[in-house]
Structure 1
Amino acid sequence: MRNDLKILEEKRLVIRTFGLANLNPSAGKKALAKERQTLTTDELIAKKAVELIPENARYIGLDCGSSVGEVANQIINLPSVKTIVTSSVPAIS
C-alpha cells in the first residue's frame, strides 16, 4: 500500500501526511478517472496472465508489481494451483 500511495503522491493525486492520505483537491476529476482506468488495465493484464498458466500448474511464483495483487486474486480460482510463493504484500492480502 505504501508503494501505491507513493506513486499516487508522485502523480500529485493524493497528499500524504503521517498515517494519513487524502485526495488532492487540485488533481481534478480527469486525473482521478485516468487512475481508475489504470486499475481496469491491471485487471486485464491479470486476466491475460492467468490464461497463460498451464492447466496442470500446481506451484506459482509471483514477483512484485502493480498487477500482482489482481493476478493473485484470479489465480486463487484455479483448481490445480496448490501453492503460491511471493513477497508481494498485495498478493498476500
Structure 2
Amino acid sequence: MATAAAEPKNSRLDLRMTSDQKRQIERAARLNGVTVSQWSLAHLIASAREDILESSQIMLEESVFDEFLQLLQGDPTPRFDEFAEGSTRWER
C-alpha cells in the first residue's frame, strides 16, 4: 500500500474562517514547525478517523454487554423461527 507521501496530492479543500481562527491555526503550525497545510491536514485526518471509528463501533458497559451475550446465546424467539422458515409477512 502506498504511503500518503507517495500518493499525488490532487485534491483541495477550501475553508472559510475568521481572521482570528486563521491566526490561531498559523500559530499552532509555527509552534509545531510545520506548514499550515501540514498541520491542518494532520488534525483533520485524525479527527475524521476518530469520527469514523466512533460511528462504526458500539460501546457497551460490561453489564449491558453481558446481557447482550446472554440474548445471543439463548434460544431464538418464535419470530426468528418464523423468519428462518421463510413464512414472514413479506413472503405471504
Higher helix fraction (1 or 2):
2
Larger RCO (CA within 8 A; separation ≥ 6): 1
**TM tier relative to shorter chain:** under 0.3
Larger radius of gyration: 2
Higher strand fraction (1 or 2):
1
Superposition TM-score, scaled by structure 1 size: 0.27
Superposition TM-score, scaled by structure 2 size: 0.27
